[in-house]
Amino acid sequence: MGILSLLLWTPAIGALLLVFIPNQQTQLIRWLANLTSGLALLLACLLLSRVDQHNPALQFNEYFPLNPNLGSAYALGVDGLSMPMLMLATLLTSVALLASLTLSPNVKGYHICILLLEFGMLGVFLAQDWALFYIFWEVTLIPLFFLIGRWGGKRRHAASLNFVLYTMGGSVFMLLSLLAVSQYDLQHGGSLMTSMHQAAQDMPLYEQVLVLIGFLLGFGVKLPIFPLHGWLPLAHVEAPSPVSILLSGILLKMGAYGLLRVVVMLPEAAHLLQPVLVFLALFGMIYGGLLAWRQSNLKAMVAYSSLSHMGIVLLGIASLSEIGLSGAVLQMTAHGLIAGALFLLLGLLYQRTHTLEIQEYSALLQVMPRLSFLMSITLFAAMGLPGLAGFIAELHTLIACVEQWPKLSIIFGIGLLISAAYAMRTLNLLFMGPIKTKMSRLDDLRFTELLASGILVLSIVLLGLLPARWIELSTSTVSQLHSLIKQRVS
């Protein structure tokens, strides 16, 4: 078994082992789940150390034919696009499980669902076959439905149903697009993904546009883009905080990752729809930022801020330029860490206060200095402050915007200012002012909580101060993808 299969199937094997452990042995269940996620993270780190960052091609390929007539295969591979996402998925899953140590109802089912969710997410980023990609994409729906519907808040059933209906609706359009491409000659060698890339070149332009619109609807639900974001705030508010970490940190990136792959497959259609994509990106930035600004619920604020920050990712993709595509990849990683840290810290705060209404808080800097310090750094990163991961990612996309659409960069700047406004508002209301009586005796972060949140915040700082390796990890792959786009569009 290759290292990619070992990484992919580790969470699934862990979930299978949990099935045979009695429900009463909660400590053993937690220990095994954390061990499994930790092992997956170690395998991802080992893979990162072995990846040749100067090689733009797929590496560590594994190929086993499943349906020779269709061309479908168990095809795995990793490149500069998927490697950052694999690291992000394994890291955030480990952090989410560390943050779940206080969860009490049905511990066994919860941990099985988390590991199955990790299995699906890793499959999406490793799959080099569109049929396999689609299967793993759908696999993530099942554990998420139960994680939100079983362990969520008061409106958990509505949130889980809303999420599944939105995502399944988008998946229908994605499937139709895949079927449309598969109608062309797929008898070329290699995996189905390679064959479909080649077949897409033979499609008339109007069909390419229709297919891209189908993919945009499918991936846009997860990204999310306006107006396909309706499931987002309710799901984030009602989901347990560890699940929100994965939902915002990884699940949204699956949509952006899929769209990146499709744009390379259909660059002529992407170029034709470029004005639409740019409009959706900039509108999402402003719209999401304004909605985040007016929220009184802290989790709803972070949820809408995700809509705004993922608009930056969409703008980078829409630019079809090398620096824009690089900015999109960097923003996906940066936002995953920032949103994950915010949801983690808000979840820990909620455990102590049982409220997420921002007006209920005041002077936490004096009561909980450790949480306040980590939260402040994370909010500064969300603002795009230099020296933190958010700045590096946003700078690349801003340069791409200025190069192609100088006047539209004003709208981009307004979006960043709105982000700074609600972040500063949150800092002021949470940490300044007089100490309220009911908030005067809160416990600060304990060791495991400090460990989980500290890992994410330290990653945000290190990627901001030492971004070279992070940028170089995807540079060669992005350069190759840009060359492919340029050959078709020019």
Give the pLDDT confidence of 165-205 residue by residue, as tens digits.
Answer: 898 888 999 999 888 887 776 554 456 667 677 777 778 88
Average pLDDT (334-347) is 93
Answer yes or no: is 131 within a domain.
no
The pLDDT of residue 191: 60
Using pLDDT thresholds of 50, 70 and 90, give the confidence band for residue 329: very high
Using pLDDT thresholds of 50, 70 and 90, give the confidence band for residue 70: low
d(CA 338, CA 303): 12
For residue 361, what are the domain limits? 273-490
Answer yes or no: is 217 within a domain.
no
Average pLDDT (80-101) is 94
The residues that bridge with 76 in the sheet, in sequence order, are 62, 127
DSSP structural state of residue 463: H
The answer to whether 121 touches 369, Cβ cutoff 8 Å, is no
Answer yes or no: is 134 within a domain.
no
| Total of domains in the chain | 1
Answer yes or no: is 478 within a domain.
yes
Which alpha helices (DSSP H) does 20-81 contain, by range? 26-50
pTM across the whole model: 0.94
SS (H, E, C) 431-467: HCCCCCHHHCCCCCCCHHHHHHHHHHHHHHHHHHHCC
Which alpha helices (DSSP H) does 127-266 contain, by range? 130-139, 141-151, 156-182, 192-200, 205-222, 232-238, 241-246, 252-265
Phi then psi dihedrals of residue 67, to 5 deg = -140, 90
Answer yes or no: is 434 within a domain.
yes
Answer yes or no: is 387 within a domain.
yes
Give the pLDDT confidence of 377-434 residue by residue, as tens digits.
Answer: 999 999 989 999 989 889 999 999 999 999 899 999 999 999 999 999 999 888 887 8
Answer yes or no: is 137 within a domain.
no
> For residue 365, what are its two tokens?
């800097």
DSSP structural state of residue 92: H
The pLDDT of residue 476: 92
Average pLDDT (209-223) is 91
Average pLDDT (125-134) is 90
Residue whose structure tokens are 């690089």 = 326
Answer yes or no: is 145 within a domain.
no
The answer on pLDDT for 263 being more than 80 is yes
Give the pLDDT confidence of 54-65 residue by residue, as tens digits.
Answer: 888 888 989 888
Give the pLDDT confidence of 427-462 residue by residue, as tens digits.
Answer: 988 888 788 777 778 888 888 889 999 999 999 999
For residue 436, the surrounding DSSP H or E stretch is none
The pLDDT of residue 443: 86
Q: How many CA atoms lie within 13 A of 250 on its CB side?
A: 32
The answer to whether 214 touches 176, Cβ cutoff 8 Å, is yes
DSSP structural state of residue 466: S
Of the given ranges (173-177, 336-340, 355-359, 437-441), which has the lowest mean pLDDT? 437-441
